[in-house]
């Protein structure tokens, strides 16, 4: 029904005036016309005549409030919010537009491999006090490691009672990780099972005593079946790890102990099952670490490329390679979702060595990978900020003793660094910077 304003029924002011004038004219004719038509005086009681003139029959009695006023500029009042007489029924109240859901951001840092062999371990030993001090080895990276979650791969075991070796290191070495800001250690490497389940379990326990998250190794089947989910910036992130192959000793120990769950191997079945479990457990982002066991080269092998693409197709969002002992390229892969859309997947084929006693130039140059991602309101993962920190393993002598220290190779040389080491550090930086020019990463 249209919202029309009903007009009051009544006589306009102009009509009333006309009726009054007409009445006065009639009265005048009655008073003037008789004398003109005869000489007989006519006596008229005007008061009686006026009283007998009933204008009420002609003009209705109206109060001031009832007299309609006409205004050419008058407009109809605006309907109230409760007015239901509009053409479309009730006028709907304005609805508040829901604010778009804010993106949830999170960040993490991944480092390469630490190899605390006999040479590196002995460099931290103090003969006078019979103690170890590893605190200075990665302390210069503290600023870059203090993110929401940072982790590295450790190619060592801690097993009290076993002889110290290139594989077995002292428990004191683990203290440098939390001191420098490392949050987790990935134990997935080719020699992780060389001491059997007891060596692996002892290392897991030692790391957990240092309040470090353990990735890539499991003490039981139940532990292996429980995805490593961490809440970073309100986003549930799964960190998975796979080893391409175990050493002959480790493979034999795993088979004899019937503990195939302990170190996840890089098979299609294991990859698919682990990523599926992580997604079912609520993972909104999946980070996969792969330990490559073959001989490393400057560029990833065809097998590396194929396996990483499989991981991307299975649902990995970030793929990080270790075990190459040298830095390899970082690039984009893609996967096609069920709705047909293409999603980017970040792939770093190899991050190199964080700590090593090797003097080979390509093995002393490494990098940290820094990722800041966000999950928008539609559940789409965005890669907001991708950076790298190039590092160099500085080996130097002081008072007749060898020391190892990891430093940022893009920084100015330390005051005590000799020219030979400075030149090596410069080449290490140039090699990483050149390799990353075609990558999606920026220098931090």
Contact criterion met (CB below 8 Å) for 153 and 289: yes
Q: Do 138 and 176 touch, CB atoms closer than 8 A? A: yes
Angle of helix 196-209 versus helix 248-257 axis, rounded to 10: 90
pLDDT tens figures, 116-149: 999 999 999 999 999 999 999 999 999 999 899 9
Task: Tally Cβ neighbours within 10 Å of residue 390.
Answer: 25
Give strand pairing partners of 185.
Answer: 152, 214
Q: Where are the alpha helices (DSSP H) in 146-267?
A: 176-180, 196-209, 221-225, 248-257
Q: What is the DSSP letter of 73?
A: T
Residues 6+ apart with CB under 8 A from 136: 403, 405
Closest by CA to 278, choosing from 369, 344, 215, 322, is 215
Cα–Cα dist 432/426, whole Å? 10
Task: Please count the helices (runs of H) and the strands (runs of E) in the chain.
Answer: 12, 17
Phi, then psi, of 244 in degrees rounded to 5? -65, -50
Instruction: Measure the CA–CA gap between 137 and 391, rounded to whole angstroms.
Output: 12
Q: Is 340 left (phi over 0), alpha (psi -120 to 50) or beta?
A: left
Q: Which residue bears the tokens 């993110």? A: 147
Q: How far apart are CA 113 and CA 155, in angstroms?
A: 7
pLDDT tens-digit readout, 190-220: 999 999 999 999 999 999 999 999 999 999 9
Share of the chain above pLDDT 70, in %: 77
pLDDT above 90 coverage of the chain, percent: 72
Q: What does the alpha-carbon distance between residue 427 and residue 363 come to, in Å, rounded to a whole number?
A: 12
Question: What is d(CA 350, CA 320) in angstroms, rounded to the nearest whole number?
Answer: 7
pTM for the whole structure? 0.77
Mean pLDDT, the chain, rounded, equals 84
Q: Measuring CA to CA, which residue among 251, 232, 284 is closest to residue 106?
A: 232
> Cα separation of 319 and 181, whole Å?
22
Is the distance from CB of 436 to CB of 410 less than 8 angstroms? no
Q: Residue ranges of the chain with pLDDT lower than 50? A: 1-11, 13, 16-17, 19, 21, 24-25, 27, 29-44, 46-88
């Amino acid at each position: 029904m249209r919202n029309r304003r009903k007009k009051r029924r009544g006589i306009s002011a102009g009509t009333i005036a006309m009726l009054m004038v007409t009445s006065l004219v009639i009265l005048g004719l009655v008073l003037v016309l008789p004398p003109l038509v005869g000489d007989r005086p006519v006596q008229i009681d005007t008061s009686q005549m006026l009283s007998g003139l009933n204008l009420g029959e002609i003009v209705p009695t109206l109060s001031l409030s009832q007299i309609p006023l006409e205004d050419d500029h008058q407009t109809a009042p605006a309907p109230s919010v409760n007015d239901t007489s509009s053409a479309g029924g009730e006028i709907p109240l304005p609805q508040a537009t829901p604010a778009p859901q804010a993106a949830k951001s999170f960040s993490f840092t991944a480092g390469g491999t630490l190899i605390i062999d006999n040479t590196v371990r002995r460099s931290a030993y103090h003969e006078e006090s019979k103690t170890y001090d590893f605190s200075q080895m990665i302390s210069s990276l503290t600023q870059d490691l203090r993110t929401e979650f940072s982790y590295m791969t450790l190619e060592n075991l801690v097993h009290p009672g076993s002889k110290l070796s290139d594989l077995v290191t002292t428990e004191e070495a683990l203290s440098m990780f939390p001191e420098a800001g490392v949050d987790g250690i990935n134990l997935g490497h080719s020699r992780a099972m060389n001491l059997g389940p007891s060596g692996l379990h002892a290392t897991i326990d030692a790391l957990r005593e240092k309040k470090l998250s353990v990735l890539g190794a499991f003490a039981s089947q139940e532990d292996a079946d429980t995805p490593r989910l961490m809440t970073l910036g309100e986003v549930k992130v799964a960190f998975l790890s796979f080893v391409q192959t175990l050493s002959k000793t480790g493979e034999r120990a795993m088979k004899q102990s019937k503990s195939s769950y302990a170190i996840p191997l890089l098979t299609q079945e294991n990859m698919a099952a682990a990523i599926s479990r992580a997604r079912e457990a609520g993972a909104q982002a999946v980070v996969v670490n792969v330990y490559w066991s073959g001989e490393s080269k400057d560029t990833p092998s065809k097998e590396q490329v194929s396996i990483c693409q499989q991981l991307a197709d299975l649902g990995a969002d970030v793929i990080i390679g270790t075990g190459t002992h040298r830095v390899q390229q970082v690039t984009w892969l893609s996967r096609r979702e069920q709705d047909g859309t293409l999603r980017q997947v970040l792939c770093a084929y190899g991050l190199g060595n964080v700590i090593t006693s090797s003097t080979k130039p390509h093995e002393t140059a490494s990098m940290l990978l820094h990722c800041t991602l966000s999950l928008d309101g539609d559940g789409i993962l965005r890669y907001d900020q991708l950076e790298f920190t190039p590092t160099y393993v500085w080996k130097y002598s002081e008072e007749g003793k060898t020391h190892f220290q990891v430093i940022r190779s893009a920084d100015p040389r330390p005051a005590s660094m000799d020219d030979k080491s400075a030149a090596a550090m410069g080449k290490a930086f140039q090699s990483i910077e050149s390799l990353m020019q075609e990558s999606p990463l920026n220098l931090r």
